[in-house]
Amino acid sequence: MDVSAAYILGKLIGAGLAMIGAIGAGAGIGIVASGAVQAMGRNPDATGIIQTNMILGIAFAEAVAIYCLVVALLILFAIPVPVA
C-alpha cells in the first residue's frame, strides 16, 4: 500500500469516527421527544410550553450532530493528500 492510499484510508476512518458523535445526538433527540410526548399526555394544558422546550432541546442536540458532520467534512475535504 502506498503512502497516498494509506493517507486516504486514514482520512476515511477519521471521518467515520467523527460521525460517531451523531449517534448520541440521535439518542438524545429520541429521549427528549419521548419525554415531551409523555408530559403532553399527562398535562394537555401545558402542551405549548412543553412543545417549545422540546423543540429547543432537539435543536441543541441536533447542533452536536451538525458539528460532527462539519468535522467529518473538514477531515475529508480540507486536508490535502500528499503526493508521493
Q: Which domains does the chain have, with CATH numbers?
A: 3-77 (1.20.20.10)
| 8-state DSSP, 13 | H
Q: List alpha helices for the chain, DSSP H.
A: 3-18, 21-42, 47-77
Q: Which residues of 4-24 are buried (b: 16+ CB within 10 A; e: fewer)?
A: eeeeeeebeebbeebbeebee
Q: What is the pTM of this model?
A: 0.81
Residue-wise pLDDT tens digits, 17-35? 999 989 999 999 999 999 9
- pLDDT tens for the chain, residues 1 to 84: 788 888 899 999 999 999 998 999 999 999 999 999 999 999 999 999 999 999 999 999 999 999 999 999 999 999 887 776
